[in-house]
Amino acid sequence: MSYCKKCDVKIQGDQDYCPLCDEWLEEIKKETNPYPNIPLKFNRYKLTNVLLLLSFLLVVGLLAINYFFLNREGEVFQAILIGVATLWLSVTILIRKRRNIAKSFLYLLVTLNLLAIYTDIINGWRGWSLSFALPFSCIIVLFALVLSLKFVRLSLIDGLLYLMLAAVLSVIPGILLLLGIAKSPVPAYLSTFLGISLLLFTLVQYGDLITLEIKKRFRI
Protein backbone atom coordinates (compact mmCIF):
# COMPACT_ATOMS: atom_id res chain seq x y z
CA MET A 1 0.00 0.00 0.00
CA SER A 2 1.19 3.51 -0.89
CA TYR A 3 0.25 7.08 0.02
CA CYS A 4 -0.25 10.18 -2.10
CA LYS A 5 0.53 13.43 -0.30
CA LYS A 6 -1.19 15.62 -2.88
CA CYS A 7 -4.50 13.71 -2.90
CA ASP A 8 -4.20 12.61 0.72
CA VAL A 9 -5.33 9.10 -0.14
CA LYS A 10 -3.98 5.58 0.29
CA ILE A 11 -3.49 3.52 -2.84
CA GLN A 12 -3.56 -0.26 -2.84
CA GLY A 13 -1.33 -2.26 -5.14
CA ASP A 14 2.22 -1.82 -6.45
CA GLN A 15 1.78 1.45 -8.39
CA ASP A 16 4.62 3.95 -8.31
CA TYR A 17 2.47 6.92 -9.31
CA CYS A 18 -0.92 8.13 -8.12
CA PRO A 19 -3.70 7.21 -10.60
CA LEU A 20 -5.45 10.49 -9.75
CA CYS A 21 -2.70 13.06 -10.12
CA ASP A 22 0.36 11.13 -11.37
CA GLU A 23 2.41 12.23 -8.36
CA TRP A 24 5.08 9.93 -6.89
CA LEU A 25 3.67 7.65 -4.21
CA GLU A 26 5.28 7.00 -0.83
CA GLU A 27 5.36 3.44 0.43
CA ILE A 28 3.53 2.83 3.70
CA LYS A 29 5.58 0.65 6.00
CA LYS A 30 3.71 -1.94 8.01
CA GLU A 31 4.03 -1.58 11.75
CA THR A 32 5.41 -4.65 13.46
CA ASN A 33 4.83 -5.70 17.05
CA PRO A 34 8.20 -5.76 18.88
CA TYR A 35 6.87 -8.27 21.38
CA PRO A 36 6.68 -11.95 20.45
CA ASN A 37 3.26 -13.62 20.32
CA ILE A 38 3.60 -16.23 23.02
CA PRO A 39 0.78 -18.79 22.98
CA LEU A 40 -0.82 -19.99 26.18
CA LYS A 41 0.68 -23.29 27.25
CA PHE A 42 -1.03 -25.44 29.84
CA ASN A 43 -2.35 -28.95 30.19
CA ARG A 44 -6.13 -28.59 30.43
CA TYR A 45 -6.68 -32.16 31.64
CA LYS A 46 -4.02 -31.91 34.33
CA LEU A 47 -5.24 -28.50 35.46
CA THR A 48 -8.83 -29.76 35.75
CA ASN A 49 -7.69 -32.72 37.87
CA VAL A 50 -5.71 -30.43 40.17
CA LEU A 51 -8.70 -28.11 40.57
CA LEU A 52 -10.98 -31.03 41.42
CA LEU A 53 -8.48 -32.27 44.00
CA LEU A 54 -8.12 -28.81 45.54
CA SER A 55 -11.91 -28.41 45.64
CA PHE A 56 -12.22 -31.72 47.50
CA LEU A 57 -9.47 -30.76 49.95
CA LEU A 58 -11.12 -27.37 50.44
CA VAL A 59 -14.46 -28.92 51.34
CA VAL A 60 -12.85 -31.44 53.71
CA GLY A 61 -10.69 -28.73 55.30
CA LEU A 62 -13.58 -26.34 55.91
CA LEU A 63 -15.75 -29.11 57.35
CA ALA A 64 -12.90 -30.13 59.67
CA ILE A 65 -12.39 -26.53 60.83
CA ASN A 66 -16.11 -26.24 61.50
CA TYR A 67 -16.24 -29.54 63.39
CA PHE A 68 -13.27 -28.86 65.65
CA PHE A 69 -13.37 -25.09 66.12
CA LEU A 70 -16.51 -23.31 64.90
CA ASN A 71 -19.67 -25.46 65.02
CA ARG A 72 -21.55 -23.15 62.67
CA GLU A 73 -22.97 -25.29 59.92
CA GLY A 74 -24.93 -22.67 57.98
CA GLU A 75 -22.10 -20.16 57.67
CA VAL A 76 -19.51 -22.79 56.82
CA PHE A 77 -21.61 -24.35 54.05
CA GLN A 78 -22.04 -20.92 52.51
CA ALA A 79 -18.29 -20.33 52.82
CA ILE A 80 -17.66 -23.67 51.09
CA LEU A 81 -19.80 -22.70 48.11
CA ILE A 82 -18.13 -19.31 47.81
CA GLY A 83 -14.67 -20.84 48.29
CA VAL A 84 -15.08 -23.45 45.55
CA ALA A 85 -16.63 -20.90 43.20
CA THR A 86 -13.75 -18.52 43.89
CA LEU A 87 -11.18 -21.22 43.13
CA TRP A 88 -12.65 -22.11 39.72
CA LEU A 89 -13.45 -18.51 38.76
CA SER A 90 -9.96 -17.37 39.74
CA VAL A 91 -8.18 -19.91 37.57
CA THR A 92 -10.60 -19.32 34.66
CA ILE A 93 -10.09 -15.56 34.79
CA LEU A 94 -6.33 -15.94 35.13
CA ILE A 95 -6.14 -18.09 32.02
CA ARG A 96 -8.53 -16.06 29.86
CA LYS A 97 -7.47 -12.61 31.12
CA ARG A 98 -3.82 -13.33 31.86
CA ARG A 99 -2.68 -10.02 30.31
CA ASN A 100 -4.29 -8.10 33.19
CA ILE A 101 -4.44 -10.56 36.05
CA ALA A 102 -4.24 -8.00 38.87
CA LYS A 103 -7.36 -6.15 37.71
CA SER A 104 -9.17 -9.46 37.15
CA PHE A 105 -8.40 -10.53 40.70
CA LEU A 106 -9.65 -7.24 42.08
CA TYR A 107 -12.91 -7.55 40.16
CA LEU A 108 -13.27 -11.17 41.23
CA LEU A 109 -12.74 -10.54 44.94
CA VAL A 110 -14.93 -7.45 45.00
CA THR A 111 -17.77 -9.13 43.07
CA LEU A 112 -17.82 -12.32 45.14
CA ASN A 113 -17.59 -10.55 48.47
CA LEU A 114 -20.21 -7.96 47.57
CA LEU A 115 -22.47 -10.85 46.62
CA ALA A 116 -21.73 -12.55 49.94
CA ILE A 117 -22.42 -9.35 51.90
CA TYR A 118 -25.67 -8.79 50.01
CA THR A 119 -26.77 -12.37 50.70
CA ASP A 120 -25.84 -11.92 54.36
CA ILE A 121 -27.88 -8.71 54.60
CA ILE A 122 -31.04 -10.07 52.99
CA ASN A 123 -30.89 -13.14 55.25
CA GLY A 124 -30.76 -11.08 58.43
CA TRP A 125 -27.06 -10.16 58.79
CA ARG A 126 -25.20 -12.80 60.76
CA GLY A 127 -21.74 -11.60 59.78
CA TRP A 128 -20.66 -14.78 57.96
CA SER A 129 -19.77 -12.78 54.84
CA LEU A 130 -16.96 -10.96 56.64
CA SER A 131 -16.06 -13.68 59.14
CA PHE A 132 -15.97 -16.60 56.71
CA ALA A 133 -16.52 -15.69 53.04
CA LEU A 134 -13.93 -12.90 52.91
CA PRO A 135 -10.98 -14.74 54.51
CA PHE A 136 -11.69 -18.03 52.73
CA SER A 137 -12.05 -16.32 49.34
CA CYS A 138 -8.73 -14.52 49.94
CA ILE A 139 -7.04 -17.82 50.78
CA ILE A 140 -8.49 -19.57 47.75
CA VAL A 141 -7.53 -16.72 45.43
CA LEU A 142 -4.01 -16.89 46.85
CA PHE A 143 -3.70 -20.60 46.10
CA ALA A 144 -5.42 -20.23 42.74
CA LEU A 145 -2.92 -17.53 41.76
CA VAL A 146 0.06 -19.71 42.69
CA LEU A 147 -1.48 -22.63 40.81
CA SER A 148 -2.18 -20.59 37.69
CA LEU A 149 1.27 -19.02 37.69
CA LYS A 150 2.72 -22.51 37.59
CA PHE A 151 0.56 -23.61 34.66
CA VAL A 152 0.36 -20.37 32.67
CA ARG A 153 4.08 -19.59 33.12
CA LEU A 154 3.95 -15.84 33.48
CA SER A 155 7.12 -13.79 33.67
CA LEU A 156 8.84 -13.81 37.04
CA ILE A 157 8.36 -10.14 37.85
CA ASP A 158 4.67 -10.15 36.89
CA GLY A 159 4.11 -13.27 38.96
CA LEU A 160 5.80 -11.67 41.98
CA LEU A 161 3.70 -8.52 41.73
CA TYR A 162 0.49 -10.52 41.47
CA LEU A 163 1.49 -12.67 44.43
CA MET A 164 2.15 -9.56 46.51
CA LEU A 165 -1.26 -8.18 45.58
CA ALA A 166 -2.97 -11.39 46.67
CA ALA A 167 -0.92 -11.42 49.88
CA VAL A 168 -1.97 -7.86 50.76
CA LEU A 169 -5.63 -8.69 50.14
CA SER A 170 -5.31 -11.72 52.42
CA VAL A 171 -4.40 -9.45 55.36
CA ILE A 172 -7.73 -7.59 55.23
CA PRO A 173 -9.64 -10.22 57.32
CA GLY A 174 -7.10 -9.80 60.12
CA ILE A 175 -7.62 -6.04 60.10
CA LEU A 176 -11.40 -6.52 60.27
CA LEU A 177 -10.91 -8.87 63.22
CA LEU A 178 -8.83 -6.29 65.08
CA LEU A 179 -11.51 -3.67 64.43
CA GLY A 180 -14.17 -6.00 65.82
CA ILE A 181 -16.03 -6.23 62.54
CA ALA A 182 -15.19 -9.90 61.88
CA LYS A 183 -16.10 -12.29 64.71
CA SER A 184 -14.39 -15.60 63.92
CA PRO A 185 -10.65 -15.56 64.62
CA VAL A 186 -9.59 -18.84 62.96
CA PRO A 187 -10.33 -17.90 59.31
CA ALA A 188 -8.96 -14.37 59.82
CA TYR A 189 -5.77 -15.65 61.47
CA LEU A 190 -5.25 -18.23 58.72
CA SER A 191 -5.76 -15.73 55.91
CA THR A 192 -3.56 -13.11 57.56
CA PHE A 193 -0.80 -15.61 58.38
CA LEU A 194 -0.66 -16.91 54.80
CA GLY A 195 -0.74 -13.41 53.36
CA ILE A 196 2.02 -12.02 55.60
CA SER A 197 4.18 -15.13 55.19
CA LEU A 198 3.96 -14.99 51.41
CA LEU A 199 4.55 -11.24 51.37
CA LEU A 200 7.67 -11.51 53.58
CA PHE A 201 9.00 -14.46 51.57
CA THR A 202 8.57 -12.56 48.32
CA LEU A 203 10.24 -9.41 49.67
CA VAL A 204 13.17 -11.30 51.20
CA GLN A 205 13.83 -13.46 48.14
CA TYR A 206 13.13 -10.93 45.38
CA GLY A 207 13.20 -7.54 47.10
CA ASP A 208 15.88 -6.04 44.84
CA LEU A 209 14.14 -7.21 41.67
CA ILE A 210 10.78 -5.84 42.84
CA THR A 211 12.31 -2.49 43.85
CA LEU A 212 13.98 -2.17 40.45
CA GLU A 213 10.74 -2.99 38.63
CA ILE A 214 8.73 -0.46 40.69
CA LYS A 215 11.31 2.24 39.89
CA LYS A 216 11.09 1.40 36.20
CA ARG A 217 7.29 1.45 36.11
CA PHE A 218 6.89 4.66 38.11
CA ARG A 219 10.06 6.26 36.68
CA ILE A 220 11.51 6.97 40.09
CA of residue 110 relative to chain centroid, distance: 12
136 CB contacts (<8 Å, ≥6 apart)?
A: 62, 79, 82, 83, 86, 187, 191
The pLDDT, as a whole number, for residue 40 is 52
Edge-to-edge strands, sheet with 2-4: 9-11, 2-4, 26-27
Q: How many other CB atoms are there within 10 angstroms of residue 158's CB atom?
A: 15
**Helix%, strand%, coil% for the chain, nearest 5:** 70, 5, 25
Per-residue pLDDT of the chain (220 residues; tens, 9 = 90+): 788 877 778 887 777 778 877 787 887 766 555 545 555 555 677 777 887 888 888 788 777 877 777 666 666 676 677 667 767 776 776 666 656 665 676 677 777 788 788 878 877 888 888 998 889 888 887 887 777 667 665 566 766 777 787 788 899 999 999 999 888 899 999 999 999 998 898 888 888 887 887 777 676 6
Q: Which amino acid is at 172?
A: I
SS3 183: coil
Q: How far apart are CA 52 and CA 216, in angstroms?
A: 40
Helix axes 134-152 and 101-122, enclosed angle (nearest 10): 150
CA angle 198, 199, 202 (to 5 degrees): 85
